[in-house]
Amino acid sequence: MDNRTELLRQIKDEVIALESSPLYAERVKNGVFPVIGEGDHYAKIMFVGEAPGKNEAASGRPFCGAAGKILDQLLTSIELPRQSVYITNIVKDRPPFNRDPLPEEIVAYGLFLDRQINIIQPKVIATLGRYSMVYIMEKFGLGALLKSISQMHGQTFVGKADYGEINIVPLYHPAAAIYNRADLDKHFEDFKMLKKFV
Protein backbone atom coordinates (compact mmCIF):
# COMPACT_ATOMS: atom_id res chain seq x y z
CA MET A 1 0.00 0.00 0.00
CA ASP A 2 1.55 3.32 -1.03
CA ASN A 3 1.64 6.33 1.24
CA ARG A 4 -1.28 8.16 -0.42
CA THR A 5 -3.53 5.12 -0.11
CA GLU A 6 -2.62 4.81 3.56
CA LEU A 7 -3.27 8.51 4.25
CA LEU A 8 -6.64 8.36 2.47
CA ARG A 9 -7.55 5.23 4.42
CA GLN A 10 -6.85 7.14 7.65
CA ILE A 11 -9.32 9.83 6.53
CA LYS A 12 -11.93 7.14 5.87
CA ASP A 13 -11.43 5.64 9.33
CA GLU A 14 -11.71 9.08 10.97
CA VAL A 15 -14.92 9.97 9.11
CA ILE A 16 -16.49 6.60 9.99
CA ALA A 17 -15.74 7.28 13.67
CA LEU A 18 -16.77 10.96 13.60
CA GLU A 19 -19.43 10.89 16.30
CA SER A 20 -19.14 14.66 16.73
CA SER A 21 -20.46 15.22 13.19
CA PRO A 22 -23.92 16.79 12.97
CA LEU A 23 -24.87 13.99 10.54
CA TYR A 24 -23.43 10.99 12.41
CA ALA A 25 -26.69 10.10 14.22
CA GLU A 26 -28.59 10.30 10.92
CA ARG A 27 -26.12 7.86 9.33
CA VAL A 28 -26.46 5.37 12.21
CA LYS A 29 -30.26 5.68 12.31
CA ASN A 30 -30.55 4.93 8.58
CA GLY A 31 -27.87 2.23 8.51
CA VAL A 32 -26.03 3.91 5.64
CA PHE A 33 -22.40 4.74 4.86
CA PRO A 34 -20.30 7.86 4.71
CA VAL A 35 -19.06 8.61 1.19
CA ILE A 36 -15.36 9.38 1.30
CA GLY A 37 -14.42 9.49 -2.36
CA GLU A 38 -13.04 7.20 -5.06
CA GLY A 39 -10.71 7.20 -8.01
CA ASP A 40 -7.05 7.61 -8.86
CA HIS A 41 -4.92 8.69 -5.89
CA TYR A 42 -2.61 10.42 -8.39
CA ALA A 43 -5.42 12.05 -10.41
CA LYS A 44 -4.70 15.28 -12.27
CA ILE A 45 -8.38 16.21 -12.02
CA MET A 46 -10.46 16.07 -8.85
CA PHE A 47 -14.23 16.57 -8.89
CA VAL A 48 -15.77 17.98 -5.72
CA GLY A 49 -19.52 17.86 -5.21
CA GLU A 50 -21.57 19.05 -2.26
CA ALA A 51 -22.88 16.03 -0.32
CA PRO A 52 -23.95 12.45 -1.03
CA GLY A 53 -27.52 11.58 -2.00
CA LYS A 54 -29.61 8.53 -1.16
CA ASN A 55 -27.93 6.10 -3.59
CA GLU A 56 -24.50 7.29 -2.56
CA ALA A 57 -25.16 6.85 1.16
CA ALA A 58 -26.62 3.38 0.54
CA SER A 59 -23.51 2.24 -1.37
CA GLY A 60 -20.74 4.41 0.09
CA ARG A 61 -19.78 5.50 -3.46
CA PRO A 62 -19.89 9.07 -4.83
CA PHE A 63 -22.05 9.95 -7.83
CA CYS A 64 -23.55 6.50 -8.38
CA GLY A 65 -27.19 7.58 -8.88
CA ALA A 66 -28.90 9.61 -11.61
CA ALA A 67 -26.44 12.53 -11.29
CA GLY A 68 -23.59 10.02 -11.48
CA LYS A 69 -24.90 8.66 -14.79
CA ILE A 70 -24.84 12.19 -16.20
CA LEU A 71 -21.31 12.73 -14.82
CA ASP A 72 -20.24 9.50 -16.55
CA GLN A 73 -21.67 10.75 -19.87
CA LEU A 74 -19.81 14.04 -19.44
CA LEU A 75 -16.53 12.25 -18.70
CA THR A 76 -17.02 10.00 -21.74
CA SER A 77 -17.64 13.07 -23.93
CA ILE A 78 -14.06 14.23 -23.30
CA GLU A 79 -12.63 10.68 -23.31
CA LEU A 80 -11.71 10.87 -19.65
CA PRO A 81 -12.08 7.49 -17.90
CA ARG A 82 -13.83 7.78 -14.54
CA GLN A 83 -11.11 5.68 -12.88
CA SER A 84 -8.46 8.24 -13.91
CA VAL A 85 -10.03 11.09 -11.87
CA TYR A 86 -10.84 11.41 -8.17
CA ILE A 87 -14.45 12.14 -7.15
CA THR A 88 -15.56 13.30 -3.72
CA ASN A 89 -17.83 15.77 -1.91
CA ILE A 90 -17.24 18.41 0.74
CA VAL A 91 -19.75 16.80 3.14
CA LYS A 92 -19.16 13.06 3.54
CA ASP A 93 -22.55 12.06 5.01
CA ARG A 94 -25.96 12.52 3.44
CA PRO A 95 -28.01 15.45 4.78
CA PRO A 96 -31.60 14.30 5.51
CA PHE A 97 -34.00 14.46 2.55
CA ASN A 98 -31.11 15.60 0.29
CA ARG A 99 -31.37 19.13 1.66
CA ASP A 100 -28.50 21.57 1.08
CA PRO A 101 -25.55 21.17 3.45
CA LEU A 102 -25.58 23.49 6.47
CA PRO A 103 -22.59 25.73 7.28
CA GLU A 104 -21.67 23.65 10.35
CA GLU A 105 -21.70 20.48 8.24
CA ILE A 106 -19.37 22.06 5.72
CA VAL A 107 -17.05 23.08 8.57
CA ALA A 108 -17.16 19.58 10.12
CA TYR A 109 -16.21 17.79 6.91
CA GLY A 110 -14.22 20.46 5.05
CA LEU A 111 -11.03 19.58 6.91
CA PHE A 112 -11.15 16.06 5.46
CA LEU A 113 -11.55 17.44 1.94
CA ASP A 114 -8.59 19.78 2.54
CA ARG A 115 -6.48 16.76 3.47
CA GLN A 116 -7.67 14.77 0.45
CA ILE A 117 -6.61 17.64 -1.83
CA ASN A 118 -3.15 17.83 -0.23
CA ILE A 119 -2.66 14.06 -0.50
CA ILE A 120 -3.81 13.69 -4.12
CA GLN A 121 -2.35 17.03 -5.27
CA PRO A 122 -4.59 17.51 -8.33
CA LYS A 123 -3.67 20.08 -10.97
CA VAL A 124 -7.37 20.85 -11.46
CA ILE A 125 -10.36 20.91 -9.13
CA ALA A 126 -13.68 20.88 -10.96
CA THR A 127 -16.36 22.01 -8.52
CA LEU A 128 -19.86 20.57 -8.99
CA GLY A 129 -22.51 22.99 -7.72
CA ARG A 130 -22.43 26.31 -5.91
CA TYR A 131 -21.55 25.10 -2.39
CA SER A 132 -18.48 23.35 -3.71
CA MET A 133 -17.57 26.36 -5.88
CA VAL A 134 -17.75 28.78 -2.93
CA TYR A 135 -15.78 26.47 -0.60
CA ILE A 136 -12.97 25.80 -3.07
CA MET A 137 -12.68 29.37 -4.40
CA GLU A 138 -12.43 30.70 -0.83
CA LYS A 139 -9.99 27.96 0.21
CA PHE A 140 -7.57 28.93 -2.55
CA GLY A 141 -7.78 32.69 -1.95
CA LEU A 142 -10.16 33.45 -4.84
CA GLY A 143 -13.20 34.44 -2.77
CA ALA A 144 -13.12 38.03 -4.07
CA LEU A 145 -13.85 36.72 -7.59
CA LEU A 146 -17.02 34.87 -6.57
CA LYS A 147 -20.20 35.60 -8.50
CA SER A 148 -23.24 33.41 -9.15
CA ILE A 149 -22.52 30.00 -10.64
CA SER A 150 -24.39 31.04 -13.80
CA GLN A 151 -21.68 33.70 -14.31
CA MET A 152 -18.71 31.50 -13.37
CA HIS A 153 -19.37 28.06 -14.80
CA GLY A 154 -16.94 26.76 -17.40
CA GLN A 155 -14.19 29.29 -16.63
CA THR A 156 -10.76 28.58 -15.18
CA PHE A 157 -9.37 30.37 -12.11
CA VAL A 158 -5.81 29.88 -10.89
CA GLY A 159 -5.14 29.51 -7.18
CA LYS A 160 -2.20 28.54 -5.00
CA ALA A 161 -2.19 25.17 -3.22
CA ASP A 162 0.40 24.04 -0.65
CA TYR A 163 2.04 21.99 -3.41
CA GLY A 164 1.90 24.61 -6.22
CA GLU A 165 -0.47 26.20 -8.72
CA ILE A 166 -4.00 24.80 -9.02
CA ASN A 167 -6.71 25.42 -11.61
CA ILE A 168 -10.29 25.76 -10.36
CA VAL A 169 -13.10 25.12 -12.87
CA PRO A 170 -16.61 25.78 -11.48
CA LEU A 171 -19.26 23.57 -13.09
CA TYR A 172 -22.98 23.13 -12.61
CA HIS A 173 -23.93 20.10 -10.52
CA PRO A 174 -24.87 17.22 -12.86
CA ALA A 175 -28.17 16.87 -10.93
CA ALA A 176 -29.28 20.15 -12.54
CA ALA A 177 -29.53 18.34 -15.88
CA ILE A 178 -31.80 15.63 -14.43
CA TYR A 179 -34.62 18.14 -14.05
CA ASN A 180 -33.80 20.25 -17.08
CA ARG A 181 -32.46 18.24 -20.00
CA ALA A 182 -32.02 21.47 -21.98
CA ASP A 183 -29.19 22.31 -19.55
CA LEU A 184 -27.29 19.21 -20.61
CA ASP A 185 -25.77 21.03 -23.60
CA LYS A 186 -24.26 23.61 -21.21
CA HIS A 187 -22.69 20.80 -19.19
CA PHE A 188 -21.14 19.22 -22.29
CA GLU A 189 -19.81 22.61 -23.39
CA ASP A 190 -18.27 23.29 -19.95
CA PHE A 191 -16.61 19.88 -19.85
CA LYS A 192 -14.70 20.72 -23.02
CA MET A 193 -12.76 23.18 -20.82
CA LEU A 194 -11.34 20.22 -18.90
CA LYS A 195 -10.02 18.56 -22.04
CA LYS A 196 -6.95 20.79 -22.12
CA PHE A 197 -5.89 19.41 -18.72
CA VAL A 198 -6.23 15.74 -19.67
Q: What pLDDT score was predicted for residue 2?
A: 85
**Mean pLDDT in residue range 103-132:** 97
Check pLDDT > 90 for residue 179: no
For residues 70 and 174, give the distance between their C-alpha atoms in angstroms, rounded to a whole number. 6
- Cβ 22 vs Cβ 105: under 8 Å: yes
Q: What pLDDT score was predicted for residue 180?
A: 80
Calculated CA dihedral for residues 181, 183, 188, 189, nearest 10 degrees: 150
Secondary structure of residue 61 in the 3-state scheme: coil
**Mean pLDDT in residue range 87-99:** 96
**Mean pLDDT in residue range 72-96:** 97
Q: What pLDDT score was predicted for residue 183?
A: 82
Secondary structure of residue 100 in the 3-state scheme: coil
Number of separate helices (H) and strands (E) present in the chain: 9, 6
For residue range 126-152, list pLDDT tens digits in order: 999 999 999 999 999 999 999 999 999
- Cβ 156 vs Cβ 197: under 8 Å: no
CATH class, range 3-195: alpha beta
Report the predicted TM-score, pTM, of the whole model to 2 decimal places.
0.97
Domain locations in the chain as residue ranges: 3-195
- Cβ 170 vs Cβ 138: under 8 Å: no
Across all residues in the chain, what is the average pLDDT?
A: 96
Check pLDDT > 90 for residue 198: no
> In 84-140, which ranges are continuous DSSP H helix?
103-120, 130-139
Q: What pLDDT score was predicted for residue 163?
A: 96
For residues 136 and 134, give the distance between their C-alpha atoms in angstroms, rounded to a whole number. 6
Q: What pLDDT score was predicted for residue 151?
A: 97
- pLDDT grade for 182, boundaries at 50, 70 and 90: confident
Q: What pLDDT score was predicted for residue 1?
A: 65
- Cβ 61 vs Cβ 101: under 8 Å: no
